[in-house]
Amino acid sequence: MKVHEFQAKQILAAFGVPVPQGRTATTAAEAREIAASLGGKCVVKAQIHAGGRGKGGGVKLANSPDEAEQAASQILGMQLVTHQTGPEGQRVKTVLIEEQMAVERELYLAVLIDGASARPVMMASAAGGMEIEEVAAKTPEAIHRVSIDPVTGLQPHLARELCFDLGLSGDEQKQAAKLMTALYAAFIEKDASLAEINPLVTTKDGRVLALDAKMNFDDNALFRHAEVEALRDRDEEDPSEVEAQSKGISNFIKLEGNIGCLVNGAGLAMATMDSIKLAGGEPANFLDIATANDVTKVVDALTIIAADPNVRAILVNIFGGMARVDVIAEGIIQAQRQMEKAIPVVARLAGTNVEEGERLINESGLPVIRAADLGEAAAKAVEAARAA
Amino acid sequence: MSVLVNKDTRVLVQGITGKEGSFQTQRCIEYGTKVVAGVTPGRGGETAEGVPVFNRVSHAVRETGAECALIFVPPPFAADAILEAADAGMPLVVCITEGTPTMDMLKVKRAMSGGKTRLIGPNCPGVITAGECRVGIMPGSVFSMGSVGVISRSGTLVYEAVDQLTRRGIGQSTCIGVGGDPIIGTTQREALELLNEDPDTAAVVLIGEIGGSAEQEAAAYIKKQMRKPVIAFIAGSTAPPGRRMGHAGAIISGDAGTATAKKAALADAGVTISDSPAEIGATAERVLREQGLL
């Protein structure tokens, strides 16, 4: 799960990470007031989940409350397009107004999990303010890493090591080491999957602060973090995905193609999308129905898929292990009877209770296109989508 | 023989009285698995699925000689269940549970490092030695006895691949579902090592997916040490970056996570890649014939 910059900063600040003074506004008038309270000079930052906000025109400097009001009125309500939003962009509802900093150096700092070593890793770079992927590709030696034992945590010598790598000394080094310890604590205690400060800045008056912040959280750990779950912004998510979640279908991702997919199992769902692509088509979604032996859930899933105006055909691919094919078949039948527009359905059914499932579909008399295997199913779905 | 489990393996089920635990225990017993005990704290002394239930794993081990734990407990309790089995000295622990927090698994991995317990999973379909022993949730009917080992991050893709093999008359030795989470007990590389040393396995089908760099680590091992042909399929060529495709581990972040990078690393190690999930069986058959193994 993702959160906004201002939310990440609130969490980090609570753990002792210094951040600039500031507050959020949802109207230009509010922005003006906040700017005045900060002394006039400030920065107005669009709050959307996607990165690259500055390049898209979502971050503006203001030197007076008037300028802050003007900047906020330009940013609020805009469809901010960045390299991460897609061409349609994301509407800005909130801006963060912060004091301007007299920045001396821009650094990079992050904590994430390294799957290969099964340990948290803290990464730092003197090349802050840039996309870290770019730094990693062009100058991998500019990225410094320390591997952290999850039992002992970030030991002072590890923090010092990164500080020295970054060329920090004296009081700045002490501040940065303290900030690193606070960042690590926030990462661990909130079950984050990423905590990133880019840039981490040193100022002309000798302070070390998080000028920007990003936190992603482990969805599997949200059950013990209601306070994190409460930060979820549904407006940042695709409406059909939000609807799917409300119906208990958590593994649904909307895509751009015209062939809807309903599959059991995440791996098979990905493989089904791959098959569609290999057959010359484009999947309209990823959907893992898992082992929901529940007809209503199958009907809901098919209804959500069919509601996408791009969808010209639906491919149902079920290899029943724990999932029962007869339940899926009943769901297909009910959904097809309810559908307002006739969308061809291609079904490849195998595994547990397949005979019963086949019988139900045959007796329904509905025009479900059958396929014996995955390759045939994909080819037939692509053909049906083209003909529709 | 095969690896990890066989017809003599004495299996204990943690969470045996739960809905999924009891259902799957039945399927395991039907397949021929020697289930000897169950554990549900507070239900000790009862009987479930025809086997005694214990409060503690340690007592179940002492009383029944169980040597493999199969775990079905809900995600908040999975780490504790794994560590209880490890503390009881269990040589093999298979955790099916999906949705375990990553932070819990970091601690589990750290606690188990250097110990004598091997963990498979979590978020996996389990392990099956065809015709002998099913420790997990795989549909037994698609498996047939033979000499192809299967390693997969995904559950349903094991069924898909094994079904294709069986239909072509190609049987399997042991199929290891390593799991779809970012932090898992036994990696693809470690599973490959097991099958490489197994005299009953002649070739391996490896099913990877997007996210992480486990396939690259597997490729490095194959290039250096694998003595048997490997056929691979990588799911998620069409997945968009930055989105979690169902499995917590299946999210592309950085270049190593893409299907293209994984396929390239494996191809470089001499692995035959099946680009289509529908052609895993056909590709395996072709390779086995070329190598004179069929």
A215-229, A236-250, A325-339, B236-250, range with the lowest pLDDT: B236-250
Contact A265 B157 (CB under 8 A): yes
Q: What ipTM was assigned to the predicted interfaces of this complex?
A: 0.91
Task: Output the six-digit token pair for A277.
Answer: 């692509």
Q: What is the pLDDT of residue B238?
A: 87
Quick one: average pLDDT of B92-111?
96
- pLDDT digits over A85-103, tens only? 888 899 999 999 999 999 9
Closest CB from B107, B248, B275 relative to A278: B275
The one-letter amino acid at B69: A
Quick one: average pLDDT of B230-255?
82
Q: Which residue has the tokens 């700045």?
A: A172
B109 band by pLDDT with thresholds 50, 70 and 90: very high
A120 band by pLDDT with thresholds 50, 70 and 90: very high
Among B28, B238, B244, B273, the strongest candidate for a mutation testing the A interface, having the largest count of A CBs within 10 A, is B238
Burial of A238 (0-12, 13-18, 19+ CB in 10 A): middle
Q: What is the pLDDT of residue A245?
A: 87
- B-facing residues of A in 251-270 (CB < 8 A) are 251, 253, 255, 263-270
Quick one: average pLDDT of A240-264?
91
Q: Is the pLDDT of residue A292 over 70?
A: no
Q: How far apart are CA B101 and CA A185, in angstroms?
A: 17
B283 band by pLDDT with thresholds 50, 70 and 90: very high
CB atoms within 10 A of CB A263: 28
Three-state SS annotation for A118-187: CEEEEEEECCCCCCHHHHHHHCHHHEEEEECCCCCCCCHHHHHHHHHHCCCCHHHHHHHHHHHHHHHHHH
Name the catalytic one among B118, B153, B189, B247: B247
User: A34: helix, coil or strand?
Assistant: helix
CB atoms within 10 A of CB B13: 33
The one-letter amino acid at A173: Q
Q: What is the pLDDT of residue A35?
A: 97
Q: How far apart are CA B234 and CA B237, in angstroms?
A: 7
A159 band by pLDDT with thresholds 50, 70 and 90: very high
- pLDDT digits over A255-291, tens only? 999 999 999 989 999 999 999 999 999 999 999 998 7
- pLDDT digits over B151-171, tens only? 999 989 999 999 999 999 999
Q: What is the pLDDT of residue B252?
A: 67
Q: What is the pLDDT of residue B1?
A: 56
Contact A268 B106 (CB under 8 A): no
Domains and CATH numbers, chain A: 1-20+102-236 (3.30.470.20), 21-100 (3.30.1490.20), 238-387 (3.40.50.261)
Quick one: average pLDDT of A116-142?
87
Query: Residues A43, A49, A52, A55: is their CA dihedral positive or negative?
Result: negative
Closest CB from B155, B213, B276 relative to A267: B155
Q: What is the pLDDT of residue B246?
A: 75
Quick one: average pLDDT of B270-287?
97
A116-120, A221-225, B127-131, B219-223, range with the lowest pLDDT: A116-120
Domains and CATH numbers, chain B: 10-120 (3.40.50.720), 138-290 (3.40.50.261)
Are A200 and A208 spatial neighbours (Cβ–Cβ below 8 Å)?
Answer: yes
Q: What is the pLDDT of residue B43?
A: 97
Q: Is the pLDDT of residue A322 over 80?
A: no
Q: What is the pLDDT of residue A141?
A: 87
Are A122 and A146 spatial neighbours (Cβ–Cβ below 8 Å)?
Answer: yes
- pLDDT digits over A8-54, tens only? 999 999 999 999 999 999 999 999 999 999 999 999 999 999 988 99
Q: Is the pLDDT of residue A138 over 60?
A: yes
Q: How far apart are CA B261 and CA A137, in angstroms?
A: 14
Contact B160 A271 (CB under 8 A): yes
Distance from CA of B37 to the nearest CA of A (A): 22
DSSP summary character for residue A341:
S
The full DSSP string for B156-198 is: HHHHHHHHHHHHTT--EEEEEE--SSSS-SS-HHHHHHHHHT-
Active site residue B247: yes
Among A262, A274, A288, A317, the strongest candidate for a mutation testing the B interface, having the largest count of B CBs within 10 A, is A274
A143-157, A191-205, A272-286, A333-347, range with the lowest pLDDT: A333-347
- pLDDT digits over A308-318, tens only? 999 999 999 99
Residues of A in contact with B240 (CB under 8 A): 253, 255
Q: Is the pLDDT of residue B56 over 80?
A: yes
